[in-house]
Each structure stands twice: as structure tokens, then as C-alpha cells.
Amino acid sequence: MFAAIFNIGWAATQVSHMAMVNCITLNSTSRVALTSSRNAFSMVANLGLYAIALVVFGVSEAVTKENTESQYRWIAYSSITVGCCFVVIFLMGTKEPRLRVNLRETTRSRIPWSYWFRKILYYQVAMVYLLTRLVLNVSQAYLAFFVIDDLQMAQSAKALIPAIIYVCSFVVSVMLQEIPWNGKRLKAYYCAGGIIWIFCGISILLLPRSINSYMYAISVFIGIANAVMLVTSISMQSVLIGSKLGGCAFVCGSLSFLDKMSCGLALYVLQSHQGTSPKVDVNIKEYFYFSVTRYGLGLVPAVCSLVGVVVTYFMELDSTILKPLCQPLLLE
């Protein structure tokens, strides 16, 4: 019940926040910059959660099961409190702006759903975004289990490796804000990120326990690929929407719905095969499992990245490069 309520709130927040980017500016480069900034602060939030956990674990010691439950309860309370504070600041401190541009230059009226279903680009962007979210969500779900169960690394690795991914994603997201963007460049960067993930997936599939320390290097490239693919795939939605602001909420909402349904289905299928993977002899001394965890972290993201790259290659996007706006589009 709690998970259902949480996902309803999360979906409402995510869709409105993603749609807001398109309403702030019509400039393609500025939209990518805003999306990059959004992703960068998402990484800051993830790292902030690690900081809260570090403080809680340092203040209290988990001796019994009740102590452990209390630690995670305080982590949850602290995270919710910080999040609510920022929500209040946003709602109370942000004034509703008016557009600087003339209303005739953009479509503000509500656009029927059938309009988007008649556009081939809608299905292409939906497929790319769906595959990107599969890459990120499925790999994130199995990362800690792969590090501990398959590679048998130290317990600290299940926190350190995700932290490396978040830091790299943050740095790349900041760097992406400084690039003038157009459709061709979005496609090129997405394909580059997808190719990086393909090599990461292959490396994870073939990585034995004897050299598990290489996982730290792989995590750097995973962080880079995650940021590039997510920022560019979301920015493709902005290209699809263009000046049709009356339909941006539907586009973001429908793609978010597909993302959550596909991720849930993928995780269900993977978990239904948990424990059925055979043991494979790599050499005389080393054994490792082609487990569901290894497939979930290596094979599934690699295949999704490959399909995403192929779809992106045949996508037709506007190739006009627009410089970032020198003045804000919105006025108080």
C-alpha cells in the first residue's frame, strides 16, 4: 500500500517537473541545459542521502535488529523532512511567471492525444526513453547484489560504487550544460553513451571475482553513460514537444507510464528466474555464476542500449543549433 501511494506521488511530481522545463523556454539548447541541471541535482540528492546515512550510522550503533530498523527509520525521516522543506521553498518562493514571447508564437491550447499518436517521432522518442530508463533502473536494482554476491567484494563497495556512479553523473551533467545543442548532436551523444554502456555490460558479464577491483573503473564509465543517455533522451522529448506546450504534460506522462510499466515487468521476469542460473567454469581455478544478477546488470542494459542506439540512429530531429538565451524567457 505504501509503495502504491509513493509511486502515485512520485509520478505526479516527476511528470510536472519534466513538463516544466518545456514551459520555461522554447530554446533547445536552454532546454538541454535545464535538463542537465535537473539531472545534476538529482545526483546531489542521491549523494545527500548517502551523507545522511553516514551520519546516522556514525551516531548510532546497530547491535540488534531493532537498532538496525531504527537506523533506517531515521534515514527515512531525515530524507522526507529535507525533501518537504525544499518542496515548501519551491511552492512558496517561486512566483508564477508570464511568457515574454507572444502567445501567437506558441501553441498554448490543449492538444488532443491523437495528435501525438499520429507522429512517428513520438514512438521513436518513447522507445528511446523507455530503453534508457530500463538501462538505469534495472542496473541500479541489481548493482549492490552483483557487487556483494557475485564479485564478493567488501561491504563498503555496495555504497562506494554507487557513489562513484553518482559523482561521475553529476560531473558529466554539469559539463553537458555548456554545449550548444541540436537534434544531430543529441543523437550523437546518445549513441556515444549507449556504446559506452554496451562495453560496460560486456565487461560486467565477463568480469571474474579474481579482478573484482575493476568494477570501480567500470562504475566510472557507467556514471558517464547514465548521465549522457538520460539527459539526451529527456531532451529528445523537448524536441518532440517543440512549441506545442499544450501537450507537454501528456508526452511526459505517457512516457513516464511506459517507463514504469516496462521496468516493473522487466524486474518481475528477471526475479522469476532467480536461482536457476548454471555455474560456469571459466578456468581451472576460478568459478563464477552467470546469475540473474549478472544478467540484470550486464546483459539487459547492454541490449537495451544497443536497441536504443539503433532507434536513435534512424530518428529525424531538427539539426538547427540555437545558442542559449542571454535573457530569461520568463518574467515575473
Mean pLDDT of 49-78: 83
Predicted confidence (pLDDT) per residue in 231-279, tens digit: 999 999 988 988 888 888 899 989 988 988 898 899 899 888 876 544 4
Residue 244 phi/psi, 5° resolution?
-85, 70
Task: Of 151-160, 163-172, 245-254, 268-277, give the range with the top mean pLDDT.
Answer: 163-172
pLDDT at 99: 53
Residues 229/305, Cβ–Cβ less than 8 Å:
yes
Q: Which positions ≥6 away from 88 have C-beta within 8 Å?
A: none
Q: Which positions ≥6 away from 103 have C-beta within 8 Å?
A: none
> Mean pLDDT of all residues in the chain?
83
Predicted confidence (pLDDT) per residue in 181-228, tens digit: 888 899 999 999 999 999 999 999 998 888 889 999 999 999 999 999
* Residue position matching grid coordinates 517507463: 259
Task: Of 4-18, 23-37, 70-84, 126-140, give the range with the top mean pLDDT.
Answer: 126-140
What span, in angstroms and rounded, lies between the C-alpha atoms of 255 and 132?
A: 11
Mean pLDDT of 56-66: 78
* CATH class entry, domain 2-59+111-323: mainly alpha
Give the whole-number percent of the chain exceeding pLDDT 70.
Answer: 85
pLDDT at 187: 94
11 versus 99: the higher-pLDDT residue is: 11
Give the whole-number percent of the chain exceeding pLDDT 90.
Answer: 37
pLDDT at 97: 57
pLDDT at 330: 47
Other CB atoms closer than 10 Å to residue 291's CB: what's the count? 21
Report residue 150's pLDDT band, with 50, 70 and 90 as the boundaries: confident
Please tell me the least confidently modeled range out of 4-18, 158-172, 176-190, 220-234: 4-18
Predicted confidence (pLDDT) per residue in 72-117, tens digit: 888 889 988 998 898 888 888 777 655 554 544 445 577 888 889 9
C-alpha dihedral, 249 to 254 to 258 to 264, nearest 10°: 60
Report residue 143's pLDDT band, with 50, 70 and 90 as the boundaries: very high
pLDDT at 104: 47
pLDDT at 320: 63
pLDDT at 148: 87
Residues 131/308, Cβ–Cβ less than 8 Å:
yes
CA dist 182 → 90, 123, 201, 331 (Å): 30, 20, 29, 26
